[in-house]
């Protein structure tokens, strides 16, 4: 570990901060443009894909990003070490975005697959290196270091739509992807130039015999051959694929996997009754998180399309040929709101804690789901206003929606993974962390499918569709709040407020 410091923290934190900032710039810049690019007419540089199909592709892509974090962590632990995993992951991410700039349908799907593999390698492992920089320091300095690191995430996510989004919507979508690729290349360059500050943190994989290493590499290469063979057969038309059906079947498989996993531990493992109750809490959190992300992640699908078609974007429009400022700008709302509201929420939880009023983790999940449901109520009213006025509505509608969803995120997301690690039986911690990623993957997949369906035929379909999602969000929130004391009692005294 390097003795040099950065703002009182290990100097390597700066290396990881900027690497993650540029990686998130790349991911959110590309994500802000993805469904717009797929659904845009060919004359405007788009792929002219039907909305339902585009939503399914979006859902499969964003869901796969989370799913591939599981093998990405395994590869780093067993074969590469976290530092090399971040490096090779970044190379794949940059390459994938550059592949997206090529004007071919096959290369579009190849680019998405390459980015999925890259994010799967980089995303789960860079946080591990942050933790290893602090060694045995588990106090406030370590927590502050992670707070700084997460600021890099939101800073990159905030800037990306304003730069890559503007480039994509004005010069051409493929130039926006190129911009995202350049950002990752810059992040890789600074990672290579300052990587020595990381010292031994995440430098080596876990010790293993040559035979184990050889077997693991054979498994990885075999899996990659299967992935690319399936990809080749799909894009080549040998395997006729209906992407909407594929997304639906994939979602069903994720649910089946979760039921099998939790059922196997609860029914057939040798853990104690108290441990089984805590696993039950994690299963409830998994279901609640999947519902939440299924609504929240519509920001880049449903709400992106609504913003493009029905939000008055004439403010600053005089600077653009279309008279409307870019749709993708609104994708910056969530990260900047996270930066602005996080200190307020931290203060509120602490203030309530002093008075012994701090909600339990299940109650916070319920509050987060209520915020989600209310946000769809706002969208329902906005859609009704579009119908009654026959024109576009003010940006305040979509911004209020994003603010409510961000408030829900701050109630649910920061405590989810923390509580999973605290509640999981010691020999199942890694697998239980995987269920959190699986819940996020399922939610992202659902967001794409829903986004491709909502208003696909007419804006008149939107109010009842948004009302249904209001019922789902608020209904799930009410159930969580109603049973929060019971669920919290299953923790067996493990403190689960999560701040």
Residue 228 domain-assigned? no
Residue 183 domain-assigned? yes
Tell me: do 199 and 270 sit in the same domain. no
Tell me: do 325 and 466 sit in the same domain. yes
Tell me: do 293 and 160 sit in the same domain. no
| Parent domain of 259 | 242-499
When computed from its CA atoms, the radius of gyration of the chain, rounded to whole angstroms, is 22
φ and ψ of 241, to 5 deg: -120, 130
Tell me: do 173 and 311 sit in the same domain. no
Tell me: do 198 and 258 sit in the same domain. no
Is residue 164 within 8 A of residue 179, CB to CB? The reply is yes
Tell me: do 386 and 320 sit in the same domain. yes
Tell me: do 286 and 195 sit in the same domain. no
Question: Coil, strand or helix: which one is 311?
Answer: strand
Tell me: do 135 and 272 sit in the same domain. no
User: Final residue of a domain: which of 185, 207, 229?
Assistant: 207
Residue 40 domain-assigned? yes
Please name the residue that has the structure tokens 């099998």. 260
- pLDDT tens digits in sequence order for the chain, 499 residues long: 445 777 678 888 899 999 999 999 999 999 999 999 999 999 888 999 998 899 999 999 999 998 888 888 889 888 988 899 999 999 999 999 999 999 988 899 999 999 999 999 998 888 888 888 887 665 667 767 777 888 888 999 999 999 999 999 999 999 999 999 999 999 999 999 999 998 888 888 888 889 999 999 999 999 999 988 988 887 777 777 788 888 889 999 999 999 998 998 888 888 888 888 988 999 999 999 999 999 999 999 999 999 999 999 998 877 887 888 999 999 999 999 999 998 888 888 888 888 888 888 899 999 999 999 999 999 999 999 999 998 899 999 999 999 999 999 999 887 777 777 778 887 777 777 778 888 999 999 999 998 888 866 688 889 999 999 999 999 999 999 999 999 988 887 655 444 4
CA distance 379 to 466: 7
pTM over 0.85? The answer is: yes
Residue 339 domain-assigned? yes
Tell me: do 253 and 162 sit in the same domain. no
Tell me: do 17 and 158 sit in the same domain. yes
User: Final residue of a domain: which of 155, 181, 207?
Assistant: 207
Question: Coil, strand or helix: which one is 458?
Answer: coil
Tell me: do 156 and 293 sit in the same domain. no
Give 170: exposed, middle or buried? Use CB within 10 Å, 0-12, 13-18, 19+. middle
Tokens of 71: 């093998």
Residue 396 domain-assigned? yes
The pLDDT assigned to 383 comes to: 95
The CATH number that applies at residue 332 is 1.20.1250.20
Number of domains in the chain: 2
Task: Give Cα 98 to chain centroid, integer Å.
Answer: 21
């Amino acid at each position: 570990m390097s003795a040099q410091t950065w703002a009182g923290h290990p100097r390597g934190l700066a290396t990881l901060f900027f690497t993650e900032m540029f990686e998130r710039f790349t991911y959110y810049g590309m994500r802000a443009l993805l469904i717009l690019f797929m659904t845009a007419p060919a004359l405007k540089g788009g792929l002219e894909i039907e909305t339902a199909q585009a939503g399914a592709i979006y859902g499969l892509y964003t869901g796969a990003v989370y799913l591939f974090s599981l093998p990405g962590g395994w590869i780093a632990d067993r074969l590469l070490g976290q530092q090399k995993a971040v490096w090779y992951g970044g190379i794949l991410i940059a390459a994938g975005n550059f592949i997206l700039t090529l004007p071919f349908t096959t290369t579009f799907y190849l680019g998405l697959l390459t980015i999925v593999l890259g994010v799967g390698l980089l995303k789960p492992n860079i946080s591990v290196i942050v933790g290893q920089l602090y060694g045995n320091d588990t106090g406030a300095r370590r927590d502050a270091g992670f707070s700084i690191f997460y600021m890099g995430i939101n800073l990159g996510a905030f800037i990306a739509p304003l730069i890559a989004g503007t480039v994509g919507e004005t010069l051409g979508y493929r130039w926006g992807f190129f911009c995202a690729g350049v950002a990752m290349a810059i992040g890789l360059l600074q990672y290579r130039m300052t990587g020595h500050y990381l010292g031994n943190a995440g430098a080596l994989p876990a010790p293993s015999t040559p035979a184990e290493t050889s077997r693991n590499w054979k498994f990885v290469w075999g899996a990659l051959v299967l992935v690319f063979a399936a990809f080749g057969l799909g894009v080549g038309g040998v395997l006729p694929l209906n992407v909407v059906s594929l997304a639906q079947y994939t979602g069903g498989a994720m649910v089946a996997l979760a039921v099998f996993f939790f059922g196997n531990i609860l029914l057939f493992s040798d853990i104690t009754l108290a441990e089984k109750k805590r696993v039950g809490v994690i299963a409830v959190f998994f279901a609640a998180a999947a519902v939440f992300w299924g609504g929240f992640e519509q920001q880049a699908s449903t709400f992106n399309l609504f913003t493009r078609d029905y939000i008055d974007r004439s403010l600053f429009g005089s600077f653009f040929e279309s008279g409307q400022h870019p749709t993708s700008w609104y994708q910056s709302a969530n990260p900047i709101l996270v930066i602005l509201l996080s200190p307020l929420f931290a203060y509120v939880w602490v203030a309530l804690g002093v008075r012994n009023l701090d909600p339990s983790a299940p109650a916070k999940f319920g509050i987060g789901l209520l915020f989600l449901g209310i946000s769809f109520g706002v969208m329902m009213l906005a859609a009704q206003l579009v119908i009654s006025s026959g024109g576009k509505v003010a940006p305040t509608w979509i911004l209020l929606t994003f603010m409510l969803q961000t408030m829900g995120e701050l109630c649910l997301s920061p405590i989810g993974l923390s509580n999973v690690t605290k509640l999981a039986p010691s020999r199942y911690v890694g697998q239980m962390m995987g269920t959190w990623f699986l819940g996020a993957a399922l939610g992202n997949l659902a967001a794409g499918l829903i986004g491709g369906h909502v208003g696909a035929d007419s804006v008149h379909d939107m109010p009842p569709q948004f009302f249904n999602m209001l019922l789902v969000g608020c209904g799930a929130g009410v159930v969580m709040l109603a049973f929060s004391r019971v669920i919290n009692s299953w923790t067996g005294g493990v403190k689960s407020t999560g701040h």
